[in-house]
Amino acid sequence: MDWSFYAAAAPAVILLGVAKSGFSGLGALAVPILALSIPPLQAAAITLPIMVVQDWVGVYAFRREVDRRNLAILLPAALVGVVMAFLFAARVSEDVVKLALGVISLGFVAITVIRDRWLAAKPTTAEVAPGLFWGALAGFASFVSHSGGPPFLVYTMPQRLSAPVFAGTSVLFFALVNLMKVPPYLLLGQFSRANLLTSLTLLPLAIVSTLAGVWIVRRVSTEKFYAAVLVLTLGLGCKLTYDAVRALYG
């Protein structure tokens, strides 16, 4: 019952909830906010059970609005990424992964602005080869730092799916990826009784914030939705890059 912790936990959980409705960039901010009051590893362990519950609230809300082809391509690749991250967990530098994701995010925003604003390019389709690469990277990054959003966005945003279908596909994809992460996290000893009780305490706020995010997505136009996601991705890319560079070279 440390109120300084809950002062950080409340906004972090709200951000996670809104992120679970399709605004993917927000979710990556939750662990750094929690890390203001507790160690980062403990923050990741507390947020994973919350994310799993939020995922399935979002899945129920968007259960009829998913792109099955995208999921069929991305999910097997994500499983490979999760397994690889687990096998090499002790050898993987989280800061290097963050730096790579930050650079990918910033490059993606720049390319998207050029592509859509200046070249007026047509939407892409869900192709297998790129999907396998970005899906595996999303699974790997999600396991290491809960930051699988940028690779997922690189692959799906150029397809210009409708806002509800994009949100539904994103929610179901990460719901299944987060379930893939539970057994490895157990094997790595990341779940303690205290952490799980803290997760349980935060669950009501987590559910309410997820439902609020669903309400927002259903009422915003596709153009505004993608513009918001792009801005969030830019902010996420800047933060990931800054944090990684400071940790590696500071």
Per-residue model confidence as pLDDT tens digits over 177-205? 989 988 888 887 777 888 888 888 888 88
Split into its structural domains, the chain has a count of 1
Lowest-confidence pick of 66-70, 130-134, 146-150: 146-150
List all residues 6 or more positions away from 215 whose beta carbon is below 8 Å from its beta carbon.
none
**pLDDT band with cut points at 50, 70 and 90 for residue 32:** low
Provide the Cα torsion 31, 34, 37, 40; round to 10°.
-20
Say what the pLDDT of residue 36 is.
64
pLDDT, tens only, 198-225:
888 888 888 888 888 888 877 877 777 7
| Percent of the chain residues past pLDDT 70, beyond the cut | 87
pTM of the model: 0.78
Hunting for tokens 């439902």 — which residue is that? 211
Task: Tell me the residue type at 32.
Answer: P
Say what the pLDDT of residue 83 is.
93
Structural domain boundaries, residue 63: 3-249
Say what the pLDDT of residue 29 is.
65
Average pLDDT of the residues in 160-189? 88
Q: Over 90: is that where the pLDDT of 229 sits?
A: no
Instruction: Estimate to the nearest angstrom the gap between the alpha carbon of 23 and the chain centroid.
Output: 9
Nearest to 36 by CA among 2, 15, 13, 8: 8
3-class secondary structure, 139: helix
Provide the mean pLDDT of the chain: 82
Distance CA 50, CA 220 (A): 26
3-class secondary structure, 192: coil
pLDDT, tens only, 85-144:
888 866 777 777 778 878 887 887 887 777 666 555 678 899 999 999 999 999 988 887
Please tell me which residue, 72 or 145, carries the higher pLDDT value. Answer: 72
